[in-house]
Amino acid sequence: MKKHTFPLIAAFTLALLLTCACATTSTSTPSAAATPSASGSPTASVTPPPSPSASESPTTSVTSTLSPSASVSPAVSVTLSPSPSESVEPSQTAAPAFDFTDATVYNCDGLSIAIPNAYIDRLIINAEPKAVSNYGTVLLSVSEKQSIEDAIKDYGSADGHGALFGIARFTPEQYTEVISADYSGLHFFARDGGGNYYGYSTATDVQLYRAGGELGEAAFAEWQQLIAMGDSVKADIIARNGLTPYSD
């Protein structure tokens, strides 16, 4: 009997090839399972990575612009005003403004001295220059009229009452003599081109007076206003006569 070996070899070879093909297919598993989409095309279904737990919050770099919270108020510039219960003392150096455009000007031995007309009726003004021994030349003196009149009515004399201020001129020699002596209530405020000095004098005591010696707040306020006017008279004398300010 004749043996047919070729068909057996061919069958064995075919079986071996099929086995290898199946083994190759089973080891090539895709990483994502394809599911058909609505349009029939496969769509990859991918399992997302696990989200961080409560204890594993992701670190995030954040740049933020801070705005004031409810507990943080923006800076505020505040100008404080005194409350009604606070007592505010007026400045001792700042004098109120006086109108020297409406004034009576006295020619006192060549020096022009102006007194605001708003106050003339309350004053007694002596503008007759008078030389005083061991002193200088008093050019003008100013007193409060009511103090003078009430003192004369009560005492028959105005001595020691009513004097507000005086303006005097001193030669260089008189100036040297005066500053070496004790002249309380006198200070110098100006010089002229001839070397003369100008002094401003006030009484060393308050010479305000009212009938019966009754002094109220209104009387003191009026007195202080006239004293302040005297300070302004000095400044006007310097400007009006072209003098040089001077301080001793």
More confident residue, 244 or 134: 244
Percent of the chain with pLDDT over 90: 53
Find the mean pLDDT for residues 4-21.
Answer: 41
Find the mean pLDDT for residues 44-73.
Answer: 41
pLDDT score of 184 more than 90? no
Residue 192's pLDDT is what?
A: 97
Return the minimum-mean-pLDDT range out of 39-43, 98-102, 129-133, 170-174: 39-43
Return the minimum-mean-pLDDT range out of 18-32, 149-163, 209-223: 18-32
Prediction pTM value? 0.61
Return the minimum-mean-pLDDT range out of 80-94, 149-163, 176-190, 204-218: 80-94
pLDDT score of 4 more than 60? no
- Are the beta carbons of 198 and 192 closer than 8 angstroms? yes
pLDDT score of 190 more than 90? yes
Place of tokens 């030389």: 131
Determine the residue type at 178. V
pLDDT score of 73 more than 50? no
Q: How many CB atoms lie within 10 A of CB 167?
A: 26
Domain spans of the chain, in order of start: 103-245
- Compute the radius of gyration of the chain from its Cα atoms: 55
Residue 134's pLDDT is what?
A: 83
Question: How many angstroms separate the CA atoms of 209 and 226, rounded?
Answer: 14
pLDDT score of 33 more than 70? no
More confident residue, 20 or 124: 124
Find the mean pLDDT for residues 205-232.
Answer: 93
One-letter-per-residue 3-state SS of the chain = CCCCCHHHHHHHHHHHHHHHHHHHHHCCCCCCEEEECCCCCEEEECCCCCCCCCCCCCCCCCCCCCCCCCCCCCCCCCCCCCCCCCCCCCCCCCCCCCCCCCEEEEEECCEEEEEEHHHHCCEEEECCCEECCCCCEEEEEEEEHHHHHHHHHHHCCCCCCCEEEEEEEECHHHHHHHHCCCCCCEEEEEECCCCCEEEEECCCCCCCCCHHHCCCHHHHHHHHHHHHHHHHHHHHHHHHHCCEECCC
pLDDT band with cut points at 50, 70 and 90 for residue 181: confident
pLDDT score of 105 more than 50? yes
pLDDT band with cut points at 50, 70 and 90 for residue 222: very high
pLDDT band with cut points at 50, 70 and 90 for residue 240: very high
> Phi and psi at residue 111, in whole multiples of 5°?
-105, 125
Q: Which of 165, 149, 157 has its CA nearest to residue 210? A: 149
Question: Is 190 exposed, middle or buried, given 0-12, 13-18 or 19+ CB atoms closer than 10 A?
Answer: buried
Which range among 41-45, 171-175, 213-217 has the greatest average pLDDT? 171-175
- Are the beta carbons of 122 and 144 closer than 8 angstroms? yes
pLDDT score of 111 more than 80? yes
Question: How many angstroms separate the CA atoms of 165 and 203, rounded?
Answer: 7
Residue 96's pLDDT is what?
A: 57
Whole-number mean pLDDT of the chain? Answer: 74
Q: Which of 113, 114, 87, 92 has its CA nearest to residue 224? A: 92
Place of tokens 């302040």: 228
DSSP lists the bridge partners of residue 123 as 144
